[in-house]
């Protein structure tokens, strides 16, 4: 004979506490008259504060990210007149660490007891970081697709300038687009977790091959860098950087003209590798462009975060000179 237990027999206070701990839920109550919070130990840990009997709303507000502070204050005050559950996501700053917190409760004084409103805090940092990563990936993919369309159009114009017939143009264009496809294989992970993805010189040579115009001006792109292995992750990062620089040159720089040239050279020491991207013979630049678009931001972030280095743009009268500083140990990763 089976025995049926009542909910009250299962959800005793100690069981509820275990469930709350398992879900990493932090509890709070808000005195709407004194504007002070009473919180459990998990909430104080989440906010990086020592435990006290009560904490003022302004004390908590001081830890909220400045960009979110006014929004959170207004949202909490508005909950008094909103007759429905609410959820507010915001950032708090703990030293150099930034956490995302979700505050949830019931508005319009629903469930208020002795002038106290109740709710929970959740640490949603992991979810927010994943969302930001997805947004960056979507933006990167959109940017790369637009760039590839621009490159394909520019390669068509380059080929049309030198082709003697429609047949030769088609052959040359197919060859360039095929080379472009091979170049972008460097961006994809290699199977089997291979230790070295490519040589530094191969990355530049293969990626820049579709942009060369041998029929019009033999060897307009020259690559001279030391023989050096580049790891899988760094190869993908460097490939994105080279593609961005080549696309910009094809739009505005030396590769946009028939007589323009590009020299890629490199020096290194025990710690760093420095690559010089030097363009000559491109169109005259009235004033240096503002390198603040998505592609430029992505390049700077990739080099800084993944290659431990930096990128500098020098718009000289003869053409653009880009200097890439990269850590040797990061390149091997």
Looking at residue 256, which CATH number applies to its domain? Answer: 3.30.565.10
Q: Which range, 51-65, 101-115, 148-162, is most confident?
A: 51-65
Mean of per-residue pLDDT scores for the chain: 77
- Residue 194 located in a structural domain: yes
Supply the pTM of this predicted model: 0.47
Mean pLDDT of 121-149: 74
Task: Say yes or no: 116 and 185 in one domain.
Answer: no
Residue 17's domain comprises: 7-123
Q: Which two tokens stand for residue 33?
A: 């008259």
Task: Say yes or no: 90 and 141 in one domain.
Answer: no
Residue 330 has a CB neighbour count (10 Å cut-off) of 20
Long-range pairs for 94-101 at CB < 8 Å and ≥24 separation?
94/47, 94/48, 94/63, 95/48, 98/65, 98/125, 99/46, 99/123, 99/125, 100/124, 100/125, 100/127, 100/128, 100/129, 101/46, 101/47
Q: Which two tokens stand for residue 39?
A: 């919180």
Cα distance between residue 70 and residue 43, in whole Å: 21
Q: What is the pLDDT of residue 216?
A: 46
Mean pLDDT of 148-166: 67
- Residue 1 located in a structural domain: no
Q: pLDDT digit string (tens) for 277-286?
A: 999 988 887 7
Q: Which two tokens stand for residue 198?
A: 């490519």
CA triplet 246, 248, 254: central angle to 5 degrees?
75
| Tokens 């319009």 found at | 108
Q: Which range, 7-11, 34-38, 300-304, is most confident?
A: 34-38
Residue 179 has a CB neighbour count (10 Å cut-off) of 18
* 18-27, 28-37, 284-293: segment of lowest average pLDDT: 284-293
Q: pLDDT digit string (tens) for 63-93?
A: 889 888 888 888 877 777 766 788 889 998 9
Q: pLDDT digit string (tens) for 191-220?
A: 444 445 578 888 888 888 877 765 544 578
Q: What is the pLDDT of residue 323?
A: 94
């Amino acid at each position: 004979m089976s025995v049926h237990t009542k909910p009250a027999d299962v959800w005793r206070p100690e069981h509820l506490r275990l469930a709350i701990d398992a879900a990493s839920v932090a509890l709070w109550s808000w005195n709407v008259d004194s504007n002070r919070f009473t919180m459990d130990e998990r909430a104080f840990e989440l906010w990086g504060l020592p435990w006290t009997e009560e904490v003022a709303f302004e004390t908590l507000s001081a830890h909220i990210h400045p960009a979110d502070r006014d929004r959170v204050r207004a949202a909490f005050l508005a909950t008094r007149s909103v007759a429905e559950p609410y959820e507010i996501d915001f950032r708090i700053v703990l030293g150099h660490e930034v956490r995302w917190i979700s505050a949830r409760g019931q508005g319009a004084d629903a469930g208020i007891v002795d002038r106290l409103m109740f709710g929970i805090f959740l640490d949603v940092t992991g979810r927010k970081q994943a969302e930001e990563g997805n947004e960056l990936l979507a933006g990167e993919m959109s940017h790369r697709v637009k760039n590839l369309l621009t490159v394909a159009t520019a390669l068509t114009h380059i080929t049309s300038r030198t082709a003697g017939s429609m047949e030769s143009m088609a052959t040359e264009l197919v060859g360039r687009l095929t080379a472009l496809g091979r170049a972008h294989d460097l961006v994809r992970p290699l199977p089997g977790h291979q230790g070295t993805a490519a040589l530094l010189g191969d990355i530049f040579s293969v990626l820049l091959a579709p942009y060369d115009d041998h029929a019009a001006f033999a060897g307009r792109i020259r690559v001279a860098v030391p023989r050096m292995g580049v790891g899988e992750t760094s190869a993908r990062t460097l490939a994105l950087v080279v593609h961005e620089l080549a696309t910009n040159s094809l739009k505005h720089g030396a590769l946009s003209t028939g007589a323009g040239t590009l020299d890629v050279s490199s020096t290194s020491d025990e710690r760093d590798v420095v690559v010089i991207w030097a363009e000559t013979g491109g169109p005259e630049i009235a004033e240096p462009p503002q390198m603040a678009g998505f592609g430029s931001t992505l390049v700077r972030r990739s080099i800084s975060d993944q290659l431990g280095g930096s990128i500098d743009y020098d718009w000289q009268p003869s053409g653009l000179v880009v200097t890439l500083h990269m850590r040797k140990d990061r390149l091997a990763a």
